[in-house]
């Protein structure tokens, strides 16, 4: 199937500028989408009928054996299982840290917007269903060693030997080298009752690895504040008091832009009209409000990326507003919202930070009957391509770790996801989709 242009590009809707009222609606148009290699591709994400997007029924096939590859019979991609839930952890190198250790019944990587692979993909970290963290060979997926948690971990985006961490218990942050089980540096901060990544459990450093976003609760007035730690200069930016933007008693968090010049405060913003988790862009240097949307999760379950023009975006599912139920991108600086795919996706990953293309991987788990339901697929963040990768074989059960949370690798050629493989009471394992290296 060849590429086809149905419209000049995705439609955009601006967020409410600071100090004005919101509202409005829109109808989305979509850019044409191109075929890539042997991957399943369609001409247009938005015009589903015209482009021929059809449901691809999930085949009833057994899950692959541990570390065995299988070909997805629908999409032709390679899928393998990299954990062995409920069984002892293999120890091919004889590392003593793995002696006597087993996978729990529910295992996997941390989250869609947290990279499971290090910068050069030589190592992979799994943190769910294990004691501490288990590190795998990034290519063969053989277990290499286990480490205790120094804190809430994120791979350094450029240094493959380092993870950055925030430790709330001791109010410290630092850099840790898992191979040698040693610290490169640590710094503890006084005057706070709580210290976490800006978006707890999901926040990450700047794209160059020099800035860490931090969310803290001051010990004195109990206000929640945002500030950035600059690793090279060992300095912090002035606090931004998020409590001044939010209702009393709220505990807002924030997302930092990839370049570290903007944050998006997320919480019960003063004057919001619906559910909490409204969003507001704030300039880091001045603390000035740039834009806001009172819509709930608009977007949510999102990840961050920089496009070819240097624009910074949050990409995820819109749960309220004119693009409700669609995958959108929202500009960090202007608040402009652009619809990319007209179907509900549960989680988004843009961790392919060293790939030639900017792909957002989306897990589609739509109870309304989307033609993409039960798949992990990808969309170029400029709207120019759409690719269908594999079925996830999730049963639809309610266990959190059975949510797929597809996460793409830094080079863009691997995607890890979790699945109960059709059994709502069965083991939950992690699987990897292997894509062509030329991405």
HSE-up (13 A, CA, CB side) for residue 23: 2
219 confidence band (pLDDT: 50, 70, 90): very high
Tens digits of residue pLDDT in 104-153:
999 999 999 999 999 999 999 999 988 899 999 999 999 999 999 899 99
CA-CA distance, 48 to 369, in Å (whole number)?
Answer: 13
How remote is the C-alpha of 336 from its chain's centroid?
20
Question: Rounded to a whole number, what is the largest CA-CA distance in the chain?
Answer: 63
Tell me the average pLDDT across 280-303. Answer: 94
Tens digits of residue pLDDT in 310-336:
999 999 999 999 999 899 999 999 999
CA-CA distance, 115 to 134, in Å (whole number)?
Answer: 14
Higher pLDDT, 147 or 344: 147
By the 8 A CB rule, do 145 and 97 touch?
A: yes
Tell me the average pLDDT across 388-408. Answer: 89
The strand pairing partners of 375, in sequence order, are: 364, 391
DSSP 292-343: EE-STTTTEEEEEEE-TTS-EEEEEE--SSTTTTSEEEEETTT--EEEEESS
CA-CA distance, 4 to 32, in Å (whole number)?
Answer: 6
Q: Where is average pLDDT lowest: 72-76, 281-285, 288-292, 395-399?
A: 395-399
Percent of the chain with pLDDT over 90: 74
**Burial class of residue 428 (count of CB atoms within 10 Å of its CB; 0-12, 13-18, 19+):** buried
| Residue 1: predicted pLDDT | 28
| Residue 18: predicted pLDDT | 53
By the 8 A CB rule, do 360 and 387 touch?
A: no
366 confidence band (pLDDT: 50, 70, 90): low
| Residue 99: predicted pLDDT | 96
CA-CA distance, 247 to 270, in Å (whole number)?
Answer: 5
HSE-up (13 A, CA, CB side) for residue 320: 16
| Residue 400: predicted pLDDT | 83
pTM of the model: 0.89
Q: What does the mean pLDDT of the chain come to?
A: 87
CA-CA distance, 58 to 85, in Å (whole number)?
Answer: 23
Domains of the chain, residue spans? 29-110+301-439
DSSP annotation of 39: S
Tens digits of residue pLDDT in 27-50:
222 233 333 323 332 323 333 432
* Lookup: tokens for 131: 């004691």
Q: Which residues contact 408 (CB under 8 A, 6 or more apart)?
A: 349, 350, 351, 352, 359, 361, 378, 414, 415
By the 8 A CB rule, do 96 and 89 touch?
A: no
CA-CA distance, 77 to 406, in Å (whole number)?
Answer: 15
* Lookup: tokens for 91: 């120890």
Q: Which residues contact 76 (CB under 8 A, 6 or more apart)?
A: 38, 39, 40
CA-CA distance, 393 to 61, in Å (whole number)?
Answer: 9
Is 367's pLDDT higher than 90? no
Tell me the average pLDDT across 211-239. Answer: 97
CA-CA distance, 121 to 169, in Å (whole number)?
Answer: 30
């Amino acid at each position: 199937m060849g590429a086809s242009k149905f419209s000049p590009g995705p439609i955009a809707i601006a967020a409410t500028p600071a100090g004005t009222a919101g509202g409005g609606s829109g109808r989305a148009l979509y850019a044409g989408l191109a075929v890539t290699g042997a991957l399943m591709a369609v001409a247009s994400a938005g015009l589903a009928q015209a482009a021929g997007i059809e449901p691809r029924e999930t085949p009833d096939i057994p899950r692959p054996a541990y570390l065995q590859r299988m070909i997805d019979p629908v999409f032709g991609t390679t899928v393998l299982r990299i954990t062995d839930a409920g069984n002892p952890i293999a120890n091919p190198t004889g590392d003593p840290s793995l002696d006597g250790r087993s996978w729990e019944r529910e295992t996997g990587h941390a989250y869609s917007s947290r990279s499971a692979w290090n910068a050069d993909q030589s190592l992979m970290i799994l943190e769910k269903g294990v004691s501490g963290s288990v590190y795998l060979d990034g290519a063969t997926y053989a277990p290499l060693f286990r480490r205790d948690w120094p804190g809430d971990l994120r791979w350094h985006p450029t240094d493959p030997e380092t993870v950055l961490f925030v430790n709330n218990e001791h109010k410290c942050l630092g850099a840790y080298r898992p191979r040698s089980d040693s610290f490169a540096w640590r710094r503890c901060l006084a005057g706070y009752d709580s210290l976490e990544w800006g978006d707890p459990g999901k926040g990450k450093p700047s794209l160059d690895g020099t800035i860490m976003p931090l969310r803290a609760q001051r010990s004195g007035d109990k206000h929640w504040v945002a500030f950035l730690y600059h690793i090279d200069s060992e300095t912090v930016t002035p606090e931004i008091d998020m409590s001044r933007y939010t209702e009393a008693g709220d505990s807002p968090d924030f997302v930092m832009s990839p370049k570290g010049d903007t944050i998006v405060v997320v919480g019960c913003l003063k004057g919001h009209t619906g559910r909490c988790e409204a969003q507001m862009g704030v300039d880091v240097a001045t603390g000035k409000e740039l834009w806001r949307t009172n819509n709930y999760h608009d977007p949510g379950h999102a990840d961050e990326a920089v496009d070819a023009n240097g624009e910074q975006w949050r990409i995820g599912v819109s749960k309220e507003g004119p693009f409700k139920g669609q995958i959108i991108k929202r500009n960090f600086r202007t608040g402009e919202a652009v619809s990319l795919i007209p179907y509900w996706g549960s989680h988004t990953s843009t961790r392919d930070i060293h790939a030639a293309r900017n792909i957002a991987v989306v897990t589609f788990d739509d109870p309304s009957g989307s033609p993409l339901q039960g798949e992990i697929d990808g969309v170029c963040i400029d709207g120019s391509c759409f690719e269908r990768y594999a079925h996830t074989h999730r049963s639809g059960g309610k266990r959190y770790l059975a949510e797929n949370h597809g996460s793409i690798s830094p080079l863009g050629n691997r995607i890890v996801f979790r699945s109960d493989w059709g059994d709502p009471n069965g083991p939950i394992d992690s699987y990897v989709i292997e894509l062509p290296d030329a991405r």
